[in-house]
């Protein structure tokens, strides 16, 4: 009997989602003779049993499309808004898994999706996950698909902002996504020749950032580009965060709808490092006019890069092969040119941050880029 494969996309959208759906589907159907069903809007679609057949027609022409033909959401199986109340809908999801006679559920997403998939695995479901995030913060994989495309978008933005910063003799701050990991801001900053790069892993001194900008100004360079990760934090805010009582953190996390909301709460309440405030501080310290560009969801949209299309296709086809072999309870990671399964329990609850000795950091320092420390 042919295997029945369920698949869903969850969390924030990312370039390459359709490419990975195509890779799974075409390999599953044409090479391994499996049947594929896609659940709409993440875990909510599985809970509500809303689905579509991912047949040849559905998969045709989607390789270059941004977004996801299945739709997505940030709903969690164990805490889902139903009828105005948050409820644990795990049992309903398990029931629909069995009702559709699934042999495996493939969950495509970032860190939150890995956690949610692991919870379903603990309920006895056969699970495989694929790492998707523009933040590149999923552990045990060299890279997550979507990151390369977002990196190109952020780099192009910095390239374009150089001319206006130069023309108006301004400080231009460019905010890239990355609450807890600075891969995107760091990579785009290095590639785009930013003069200052600020990432969550390296708390910064506003005074040292201002000093670096003033040094450029005295040298005849009357503009500066500052690449900022949205989670970048000042030394003062980092110290305040460290003093937060652990119990209060737990209580705040329980009350927050998501970890992202918690991060936002902490940022709004204590970070001297949110980008708008930083711009005002730099203006006051340097007497130079500043402007802020927040890239936001621009980084998620549009056609995936060639690299991400290849990566998504590699992971998708390798996923189909794992299903055929009956290998479950794993995340499929990119390791060099290979796709390798890693135990899902080694992935959940962890974040891949930028190591302080990473070559990108070393290269940035060697070309004279300030990291604010």
pLDDT score, position 252: 62
Residue 346 belongs to some domain of the structure: no
- Considering its fold, how many domains does the chain have in total? 2
Distance, CA of 342 to CA of 245 (rounded, Å): 34
Residue 372 belongs to some domain of the structure: no
Residue 348 belongs to some domain of the structure: no
Residue 342 belongs to some domain of the structure: no
What is the value of pTM for the model shown?
0.91
Residue 256: pLDDT band with limits 50, 70, 90: low
List, for residues 106-122, the tens digit of each pLDDT value: 999 999 999 999 999 99
Task: Print burial letters for 235-261: b (CB count within 10 Å at least 16), e (below 16).
Answer: bebbebbeeeeeeeeeeeeeeeeeeee
Residue 243: pLDDT band with limits 50, 70, 90: confident
116 and 260 within one domain: no
> Residue 293's domain is classified under what CATH number?
3.40.50.460
List, for residues 298-322, the tens digit of each pLDDT value: 999 899 999 999 999 999 999 999 9
Q: Among candidates 10, 358, 16, 1, which has minimal Cα distance to 190? A: 358
Range of the domain at 51: 4-145+304-336
- Give yes or no for residue 268 having a pLDDT over 50: no
362 and 221 within one domain: yes
Task: Print burial letters for 14-30: b (CB count within 10 Å at least 16), e (below 16).
Answer: bbbbbbbbbbbbbbbbe
List, for residues 121-133, the tens digit of each pLDDT value: 999 999 999 999 9
91 is catalytic: no
215 and 361 within one domain: yes
Residue 253 belongs to some domain of the structure: yes
Residue 344 belongs to some domain of the structure: no
175 and 87 within one domain: no
138 and 101 within one domain: yes
Tokens describing residue 229: 């990760």
136 and 24 within one domain: yes
Residue 349 belongs to some domain of the structure: no
87 and 131 within one domain: yes
Q: Which among 75, 135, 137, 195 is annotated as catalytic?
A: 135
DSSP structural state of residue 76? B
Distance, CA of 215 to CA of 222 (rounded, Å): 10
161 and 278 within one domain: yes
Hey, which bits of the chain come out as E strands? 4-9, 35-39, 51-53, 80-82, 85-87, 104-109, 127-131, 171-176, 196-198, 224-229, 290-294, 330-335, 338-343
Spatial contact of 113 and 17, defined as CB atoms under 8 Å apart: no
Torsion angle of C-alpha atoms 121, 108, 12, 258, degrees rounded to 10: 10
Spatial contact of 306 and 318, defined as CB atoms under 8 Å apart: no
295 and 155 within one domain: yes
Spatial contact of 225 and 192, defined as CB atoms under 8 Å apart: yes
Q: Which residues pair with 179 in a beta bridge?
A: none
219 and 360 within one domain: yes
232 and 211 within one domain: yes
155 and 77 within one domain: no
List, for residues 133-182, the tens digit of each pLDDT value: 999 999 999 999 999 999 999 999 999 999 999 999 999 999 999 999 99
Distance, CA of 132 to CA of 11 (rounded, Å): 9
Sign of the Cα pseudo-torsion (233, 236, 238, 243, in order): negative
- Give yes or no for residue 238 having a pLDDT over 80: yes
Residue 33 belongs to some domain of the structure: yes
> Residue 88's domain is classified under what CATH number?
3.40.50.450
């Amino acid at each position: 009997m042919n295997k029945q494969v369920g698949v869903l996309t969850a969390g924030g959208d990312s370039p390459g989602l359709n490419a990975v759906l195509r890779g799974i589907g075409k390999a599953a159907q044409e090479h391994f003779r499996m049947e594929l069903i896609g659940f709409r809007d993440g875990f909510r679609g599985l809970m509500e049993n809303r689905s579509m057949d991912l047949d040849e027609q559905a998969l045709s022409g989607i390789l270059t499309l941004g977004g996801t033909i299945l739709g997505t959401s940030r709903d969690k199986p164990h805490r889902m808004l139903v009828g105005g109340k948050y409820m644990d809908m795990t049992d309903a999801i398990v029931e629909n898994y069995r009702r559709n006679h699934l042999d495996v559920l493939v969950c495509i997403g970032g860190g939150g999706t890995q956690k949610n998939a692991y919870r379903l695995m603990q309920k006895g479901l056969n699970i495989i996950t694929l790492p998707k995030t523009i933040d590149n913060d999923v552990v045990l994989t060299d890279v997550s698909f979507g990151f390369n495309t977002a990196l190109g978008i952020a780099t192009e933005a910095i390239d374009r902002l150089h001319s206006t910063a130069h023309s108006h003799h301004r400080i231009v701050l460019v905010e890239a996504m990355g609450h807890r990991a600075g891969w995107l801001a760091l990579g785009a900053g290095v590639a785009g020749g930013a003069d200052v790069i600020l990432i969550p892993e390296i708390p910064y001194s506003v005074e040292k950032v201002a000093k670096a900008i003033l040094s450029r100004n005295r040298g005849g360079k009357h503009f500066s580009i500052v690449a900022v990760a949205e989670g970048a934090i000042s030394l003062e805010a980092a110290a305040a965060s460290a003093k937060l009582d652990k119990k209060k953190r737990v209580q705040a996390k329980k009350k927050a709808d998501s970890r992202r909301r918690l991060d936002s709460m902490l940022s709004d309440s204590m970070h001297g490092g949110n980008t708008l405030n930083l711009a005002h501080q730099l203006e006051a310290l340097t007497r130079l006019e500043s402007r802020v560009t927040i890239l936001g969801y621009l980084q998620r949209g549009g056609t995936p890069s060639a690299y991400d299309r290849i990566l998504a296709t590699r992971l998708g086809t390798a996923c189909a092969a794992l299903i055929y072999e009956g290998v479950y309870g794993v995340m499929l990671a990119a390791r060099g040119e290979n796709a390798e399964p890693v135990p899902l329990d080694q992935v959940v609850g962890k974040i891949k941050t930028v190591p302080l000795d990473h070559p990108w950091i070393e290269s940035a320092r060697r070309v004279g880029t300030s990291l604010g420390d």
